[in-house]
Structure 1
Amino acid sequence: MAYSKLFSLISIAVILALHTPMAAAQLRYFCANFATFHPNSRFEKNLNTLLGNLSSNTPRNGYSSGFAGKCTDRVYGLALCRGDVTTEECKKCVADATTRIRQLCPNNNGGILWYDNCELKYSQDDFFGEIDSANKFYMAHWEDAKDPKAFMQKTRDLLTRLADKAAMLKSSYAAGVENLGGTNTLYGLVQCTRDLSGEDCKKCLYDAIAELPQCCGTAKIGGRVIEASCNFRYETYPFYNGA
């Protein structure tokens, strides 16, 4: 079964983002409900092994992926930390995510959990190297830009430039700024999961950027499109480390 069809809760949420940098908050999760596993089954043991490996391995470079088990009991997963967070922040976020996903999706054969600082995803299907744009949600600031047309053009320019950069980098992450005139600055961040090729990373981000109207209306001053395989965020204040 294709991973893009894994979740039944693929409704797109529009959530108000606060005009302050967020901590490592839990943002959203989806659980697979087309299949479940029995407690103490071999699949559950493999899942626990996989989650333990992801929790241990991810903080080293902000990303890890792998599988555990054989045949129908095999489970695949990955964990990704936001490209600007510290090793300690990454470690804490993934550790929390691997514990929380078992609570949120206790007997589900697949799940995705997003925090502000990391993402965790697992499935009974091999999803590595595939763009998953079906499982996503939006976040947008409540305030509109004063010059909507010019603001959104600047936003697209910044995010597209960052997408091109991220697609060429091993980290699949890029952040930067765009001058809005005077002392006003637009800050942006884009990232892909590292199982994607550079070409697919770029495609995933370009498709996400194309959803700016759905995400952010005429011109919200901050917003995000967060997908299972890639995401972007922009704000009129510095929200990432190093900004």
Structure 2
Amino acid sequence: MYFSKPFSLLCLISFFLLLHTVHCADPLYHFCSTKDNYTDKSSYGSNLNGLINLLHTKVPPTGFGFGSTGKGQDRVNGLALCRGDVSKSDCKTCVTNATKVIREHCPRNKGAIIWYDNCMFKYSNVEFFGDIDNGFKVYLYNVEEVDDPKPFNEKTKRLLSLLASKAYGSPVLFATGEQELKGSKKLYGLVQCTRDLSQTDCKKCLDGAISELPKCCDGKRGGRVIGGSCNFRYELYPFVNVENNS
């Protein structure tokens, strides 16, 4: 089952330069379930359509939504999360793209997850709400390296840890911030959790993701770890939409 805990961690390291702007039509990555397919015109497929329609309505106003449709073996569970600084219209566009593209990439799979720069969407035949999803993680980083990696790594971890403490106390489980570096440079960071998690589990999820920094982004000028329940990002350029950032 796609989101069940007994499955081992699948961790993908993506070797490419993080662009300053990621087009909304291009997903960062996705995973399909390897088991439990449904057939065309089945109840599961109809319930998935119903779930997607529900999330299209539920998510854009607040940036998050989750729900289930159907009963028994045909029950579909899913959620969608938009980045905390994107507008309602950009959130709606991203969720619409995500729910469409994941079905093209994972046809008739009973579970899948897809990440975009502005949002994520996942669904499963297993109810996962309130549980930290450690089953799937993606590392993304800038291929360029900083001149002095050790102090940079320490400052990156410090900033992200401060933001994790800030986010788990926020109603939207989201936080951004910046830190001064030498030479009038700044380090910018963002952390976020899905809002089905408790505050305690949000902090636990973010601490776990931040602990991946040495594997993911050692000395890199920018990077992120994205997972099914939380994510972080840091850059040496401002990437947060200040107008929509609360």
- TM category (shorter chain) comes to over 0.9
Show the counterpart of 2:92. 91
Q: Following superposition, which runs of at least 4 residues in structure 1 exceed 6 angstroms of deviation?
A: 6-9
The gaps in structure 1 that reach 5 residues or longer are none
Cα distance per residue 1:190-240 (max 9 Å; x no partner): 0001111000000100011000011013x1010000111100000000011
Show the counterpart of 1:21. 21
Find out whether 1:186 has 2:148 as its counterpart: no
Cα distance in 2 for residues equivalent to 1:179 and 1:200: 29
Find out whether 1:113 has 2:147 as its counterpart: no
Cα distance per residue 1:28-73 (max 9 Å; x no partner): 0111121101110111100110011111211010000000001111
Cα distance in 2 for residues equivalent to 1:44 and 1:87: 28
Give, in angstroms, the shift of residue 7 of structure 1.
7.5
Is the CA contact (8 Å cut-off) linking 1:31 and 1:112 kept in structure 2? yes
Give, in angstroms, the shift of residue 17 of structure 1.
3.0
Cα distance in 2 for residues equivalent to 1:111 and 1:180: 39
Cα distance in 2 for residues equivalent to 1:112 and 1:173: 20
Cα distance in 2 for residues equivalent to 1:99 and 1:168: 33
Secondary structure in 1 matching 2:176: strand
Cα distance in 2 for residues equivalent to 1:89 and 1:234: 21
Show the counterpart of 1:215. 216
Cα distance per residue 1:71-108 (max 9 Å; x no partner): 11101000000000011100000011111111111110
Q: How does 1:132-211 map to 2 (within 5 A)?
A: 132-211=133-212
* TM-score scaled by length of structure 1: 0.95
Is the CA contact (8 Å cut-off) linking 2:132 and 2:201 kept in structure 1? yes
Q: How does 1:225-236 map to 2 (within 5 A)?
A: 225-236=225-236
Show the counterpart of 2:68. 67
Identity of aligned residues (%): 50
* TM-score scaled by length of structure 2: 0.94
Q: Which amino acid aligns with 2:184?
A: T
Q: CA RMSD in A?
A: 1.7
Find out whether 1:3 has 2:3 as its counterpart: yes
Cα distance in 2 for residues equivalent to 1:160 and 1:211: 12
Cα distance in 2 for residues equivalent to 1:145 and 1:46: 49
Q: Which 10-residue stretch deviates more, 229-238 or 50-59?
A: 50-59
Q: Which amino acid aligns with 1:17?
A: L
CA pair 19-40 structure 1, distance change in 2 beyond 3 A:
closer
